[in-house]
C-alpha cells in the first residue's frame, strides 16, 4: 500500500502543474491582458487580409514545454498575421463575425467554472440563462411562449435542427422521400443543402424558385409551382425563405410566403442567420413582417449581435417534432430527468456535451443593454449606403438598393479609358479583385450573379466605421490606378 501511495504522490507532483498557483495565474493573466490590449489598440492599423503562409512545423505538438510568451509570439506569427483578420473592422468580405470584449469575458468565466449547459439538473443556472436568451429572442421575433429553441455553434447546426423537425413533423421517410418537395431560393445558403443531405433527404425533390430583380423569391411563382406539383401527385411539405441572403443580403417577401405556406400546409422555415437581428432597427423592421409566421427560424448572434464565432440560434414552434429526433433517455442519466425541470438544451439539439456558450451573449446584453447593439446595426446600414455612393462617384456600377448591409459593385466597360475600351468586364473585375486582395488593407470578396463577376461588400463588424470605408475607397482607387496604367 505504501508503494502505491508513493507512486500516486509522484504522479501528483507532475499532474499538479495543470493547476497553476495564484502567482502563476497572475502572470498568465497579465501576459494575456497585455496581448489583448496590444491587439485591440493596434487593430485599425493592421491589414484586414494577408496572403501569408503558415509553417505547420512551428505549430506541431512535440510534447515539449514552451513559455506563454513564446506561445503568444507564435500565435501572432502563424495565426493572427495570416489570412483574414476576422476581428478587424476591415473585414467586409464574407459575413463577418463579431468578437466584442464583453463576450470574451463571458467565455473566460464559462471556461473557468466549466458549467455544463446541456441538462438542467447539472447546472440549473447555466440552462436557465440559455433558456432566458431563447425567451428574449422569441419576444424579438414574435414567436409564442410555448416555442422552443437552442443556442448552437452556428447557422449550420441551427438549420439542421429546424429541417430535421420539418422532416419529422411531416414524416418524410422511406418511399415518401422521392415524392416530397422542398422549395427554396437559388440564393439559399449552402448549409441548407448540406443539412438536407445529412438528414437523409438527398433524393427529395428540390425546387429552386424564380427571383425578382433584387434576388428575392417570387411568391406568385412559388404558388404556381406548389399547385403544379400537387396536381402531379407530389407532396410539397417545406418552403425555405431567407431574411438576408449571403450573396446579396436580400430579404424574401416573408409575409406573402407565409400566407402561401399556410394555405398549402407547408412547414415554413426562415434562415435569418445573417439578417435577423436587423429587425431591431427602426429603418428595416418593416422587411421582417411575417417572420413570426415561420414554423422554424435561424438567427446567428455571432453576426448581428457581434459575438464571437460559434454562436447560432434556432427557434421552433413544434416541440414534439424537435423531440422526436433529439430527446432520448439513458439509464445513467435517470437522475437528470424530472417533469418539473426546465427544458434541457440537450433535448433539442444533436449536442449532449454542450459548452456554456450562452454566457458570451447574456453578459454583454446585461452589461450594455440593447441600445448600443441597435445603434451599431443602424450604423452599418448607413455605412453601406455611403460606400455605394462613393463607388458610384468614381465610376463603378452598383447593384439595386440593398435590403440590408450586403451589396456589390463592378467596373463597367463603358467607363474604361480609350486604351482599355472593350475589355471584358468579368476579366477586368477579377484582376481588380486580385489587386485588392494583394493590398489587403480592407478585405472584400467576390461572387457571380447571373454570369456577372461582381465585388461584394458585407458591412457588419462592430469595428467597421466611417474611416474604414474611406480606407476601402482609397484601396479600390489605388487598385484601379494600377490596373489602368
Kindly report the three-state secondary structure assignment for every residue of 15-81.
Answer: HHHHCCCHHHHHHHHHHHHHHHHHHHHCHHHCCCEECCCCCHHHHCCCCCCCCHHHHHHHHHHHHHC
pLDDT (tens place) for every residue of the chain, 485 residues total: 788 999 999 999 999 999 999 999 999 999 999 999 999 999 999 999 998 889 999 999 999 999 999 999 999 999 999 999 999 999 999 888 788 999 999 999 999 999 999 999 899 999 999 999 999 999 999 999 999 999 999 999 999 999 999 999 999 999 999 999 999 999 999 999 999 999 999 999 999 999 999 999 999 999 999 999 999 999 999 999 999 998 899 999 999 999 999 999 999 999 999 999 999 999 999 999 999 999 999 999 999 999 999 999 999 999 999 999 888 765 544 444 444 446 899 999 999 899 999 999 999 999 999 999 999 999 999 999 999 999 999 999 999 999 999 999 999 988 888 776 667 899 999 999 999 999 999 999 999 999 999 999 999 999 999 999 999 999 999 999 998 87
d(CA 32, CA 433): 36
pLDDT of residue 371: 98
**Residue 110 C-alpha from the chain's centroid:** 21
Which pairing describes strands 49-50 and 83-84: parallel, antiparallel, or unpaired?
antiparallel
pLDDT value for 330: 54
pLDDT in the model for residue 416:
83
Architecture of domain 371-484: Alpha-Beta Complex (3.90)
Torsion sign, CA atoms 281, 141, 300, 286: negative
Q: Where are the domains of the chain?
A: 107-368, 371-484
Task: Report pLDDT for 329.
Answer: 62
Topology given in CATH for the domain delimited by 107-368: 3.40.640
C-alpha cell recorded at residue 204: 427529395
Amino acid at each position: 500500500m505504501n508503494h502505491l501511495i508513493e507512486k500516486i504522490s509522484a504522479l501528483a507532483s507532475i499532474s499538479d502543474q495543470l493547476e497553476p498557483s495564484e502567482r502563476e495565474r497572475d502572470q498568465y493573466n497579465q501576459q494575456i491582458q497585455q496581448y489583448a490590449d496590444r491587439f485591440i489598440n493596434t487593430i485599425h492599423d493592421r491589414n484586414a487580409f494577408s496572403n501569408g503562409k503558415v509553417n505547420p512545423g512551428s505549430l506541431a505538438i512535440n510534447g515539449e514545454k514552451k513559455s506563454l510568451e513564446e506561445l503568444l509570439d507564435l500565435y501572432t506569427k502563424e495565426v493572427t498575421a495570416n489570412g483574414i483578420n476576422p476581428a478587424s473592422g476591415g473585414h467586409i468580405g464574407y459575413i463577418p463575425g463579431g468578437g466584442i470584449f464583453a463576450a470574451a469575458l463571458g467565455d473566460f468565466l464559462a471556461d473557468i467554472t466549466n458549467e455544463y449547459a446541456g441538462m438542467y439538473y447539472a447546472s440549473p443556472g447555466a440552462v436557465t440563462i440559455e433558456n432566458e436568451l431563447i425567451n428574449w429572442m422569441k419576444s424579438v421575433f414574435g414567436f409564442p411562449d410555448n416555442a422552443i429553441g437552442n443556442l448552437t455553434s452556428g447557422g449550420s447546426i441551427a438549420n439542421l435542427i429546424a429541417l430535421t423537425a420539418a422532416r419529422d413533423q411531416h414524416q418524410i421517410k422511406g418511399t415518401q422521400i422521392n415524392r416530397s418537395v422542398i422549395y427554396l431560393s437559388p440564393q439559399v445558403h449552402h448549409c441548407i443543402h448540406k443539412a438536407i443531405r445529412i438528414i437523409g433527404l438527398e433524393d427529395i425533390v428540390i425546387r429552386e424558385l424564380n427571383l425578382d430583380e433584387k434576388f428575392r423569391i417570387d411568391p406568385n411563382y412559388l404558388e404556381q409551382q406548389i399547385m403544379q406539383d400537387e396536381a402531379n401527385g407530389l407532396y410539397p411539405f417545406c418552403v425555405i425563405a431567407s431574411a438576408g441572403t449571403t450573396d446579396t443580403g436580400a430579404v424574401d417577401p416573408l409575409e406573402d410566403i407565409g400566407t402561401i405556406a399556410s394555405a398549402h400546409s407547408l412547414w415554413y422555415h426562415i434562415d435569418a442567420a445573417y439578417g435577423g437581428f436587423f429587425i431591431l432597427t427602426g429603418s428595416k423592421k418593416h422587411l421582417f413582417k411575417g417572420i413570426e409566421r415561420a414554423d422554424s427560424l435561424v438567427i446567428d448572434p455571432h453576426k448581428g449581435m457581434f459575438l464571437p464565432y460559434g454562436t447560432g440560434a434556432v427557434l421552433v414552434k413544434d416541440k414534439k417534432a424537435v423531440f422526436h429526433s433529439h430527446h432520448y433517455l439513458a439509464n445513467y442519466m435517470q437522475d437528470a430527468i424530472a417533469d418539473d425541470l426546465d427544458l434541457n438544451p440537450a433535448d433539442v439539439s444533436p449536442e449532449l456535451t454542450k459548452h456554456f456558450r450562452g454566457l458570451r451573449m447574456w453578459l454583454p446584453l446585461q452589461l450594455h443593454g440593447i441600445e448600443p447593439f441597435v445603434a451599431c446595426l443602424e450604423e452599418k446600414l448607413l455605412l453601406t449606403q455611403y460606400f455605394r455612393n462613393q463607388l458610384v462617384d468614381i465610376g463603378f456600377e452598383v447593384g439595386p438598393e440593398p435590403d440590408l448591409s450586403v451589396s456589390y459593385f463592378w467596373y463597367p466597360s463603358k467607363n474604361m479609358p480609350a486604351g482599355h475600351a472593350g475589355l471584358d468586364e468579368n476579366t477586368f473585375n477579377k484582376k481588380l479583385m486580385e489587386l485588392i486582395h494583394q493590398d489587403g488593407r480592407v478585405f472584400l470578396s467576390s461572387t457571380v450573379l447571373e454570369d456577372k463577376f461582381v465585388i461584394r461588400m458585407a458591412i457588419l463588424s462592430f469595428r467597421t466605421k466611417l474611416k474604414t470605408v474611406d480606407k476601402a475607397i482609397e484601396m479600390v482607387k489605388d487598385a484601379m490606378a494600377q490596373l489602368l496604367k
